Amino acid sequence: MTVEFEPITPAIGAYVRAKAEDVIQDGAPGRILEALNRYNVLVFPEVHMSDDIFLALTAAMGVMHDNKNTDDGTAVSQKGIFRIALDKDDKTQREFILGNDFWHMDGMSYTVPVKATLLKCESAPREGGDTGFASLHAAYEALPDDRKQALQDLKVGHCLSSSLRRLYEAPTPEDFARWDAIFPRLEHPLVWHQDDGRSAMLIGSTANDVTGMEEAESRALLDELLEWATQERFTYRHQWRDGDLVIFNNPGLLHRSYPYDDEAGRVMHRTTLKGTEAIGAGISEDAGY
């Protein structure tokens, strides 16, 4: 069994050199989880992992989330895998996928956000469809001390409508009601101080408003922090090839997909791990998006 890690940049990411069958051997999932906490993004180039090994690795790293909000009735969905492709007939399913084009953190509707997301490339897009990652740990650490202090006690309201309304010129009241039924406004601290001593700003497309601020001031602050966190020095952009696997440490990152069209042929399989660290009170950890 051989599992080796090679850093991609000083701020984010590592390549993992391993055979598919090696990742579930004794000790390997623990080493991968340890590396994930260190590098935030792990890239397994063209590892060509079967769904069975993919699910076994997910289970060996933690507790897998169910996929009730993304279940599209396909065979892989019955296994607990979210099939990410633009060939969805259901409007909400398609919105979930298109909404990934905006920088976001998974699990902002949970009291305990998603720990990790595993993405496996079944069919690489012919054009577009890269995935970008931005290290919130590195971005926060690089802020001046007075800026950190100014952000310390702020709270942010997150909701699904903040993200998905960007897909439409004029979303309807029915759209807002549908989104709020999945992920209504939930307030989080702007700065999440995590158990390992690192901190992350809870921003991105689901960040709707800063509590107590006027709308224009609130939007300006959230946009400024997003621009800061997604600078090139804090980011890694992955161009997919068939068989690639990427695992990312959700509490330390924003991520996004880059646009692609229906004919690009992009098909991904996704699983997620339940988180282990709470960031505040709110709705049940099993209820959200």
Residue 71 binned pLDDT confidence (cut-offs 50, 70, 90): low
Average pLDDT in the 183-201 region?
95
Q: State residue 255's pLDDT score.
A: 97
Q: State residue 284's pLDDT score.
A: 39
Q: State residue 285's pLDDT score.
A: 46
**Percentage helix, strand, coil for the chain under 3-state DSSP, each rounded to 5:** 35, 25, 40
Beta pairing, strands 14-17 & 41-44: parallel
Residue 76 binned pLDDT confidence (cut-offs 50, 70, 90): confident
Q: State residue 120's pLDDT score.
A: 98
69 has pLDDT over 60: no
| Distance (Å) of CA 45 to CA 48, 132, 281 | 8, 16, 39
DSSP-derived secondary structure for 60-73: HHSPBPP-TTT--S
Q: State residue 251's pLDDT score.
A: 95
Q: State residue 212's pLDDT score.
A: 96
Query: Residue with structure tokens 């997003």?
Result: 226
- Listed by start position, the domains of the chain span 4-273
Average pLDDT in the 160-176 region?
92
Average pLDDT in the 99-126 region?
92
The pLDDT tens digits of the residues spanning 242-284 come to 999 999 999 999 999 999 998 999 999 999 999 989 995 333 3
136 has pLDDT over 60: yes
Cα distance between the two ends of the chain: 36
Residue 226 binned pLDDT confidence (cut-offs 50, 70, 90): very high
Give residue 99's identity as a one-letter amino acid code.
Answer: G
Average pLDDT in the 181-186 region?
92
Average pLDDT in the 196-204 region?
95
85 has pLDDT over 80: yes
More confident residue, 85 or 144: 144
More confident residue, 191 or 72: 191
Tokens of 213: 């601020």
SS3 state at 115 = coil
Q: State residue 68's pLDDT score.
A: 63
Task: Indicate the burial class of 185 (C-beta count within 10 angstroms; 0-12, 13-18, 19 or more).
Answer: middle
**pTM (predicted TM-score):** 0.91
Counting residues of the chain whose pLDDT is more than 90, the rounded percentage is 78
- How many CA atoms does the CB half-sphere of 88 hold within 13 Å? 21
112 has pLDDT over 60: yes
Q: CATH 3.30.70.920: does it fit domain 4-273?
A: no
Q: State residue 155's pLDDT score.
A: 97
Where are the strands (E) in 91-217, listed by range?
Answer: 116-123, 131-135, 155-158, 186-189, 191-193, 199-201, 207-210
Counting residues of the chain whose pLDDT is more than 70, the rounded percentage is 93
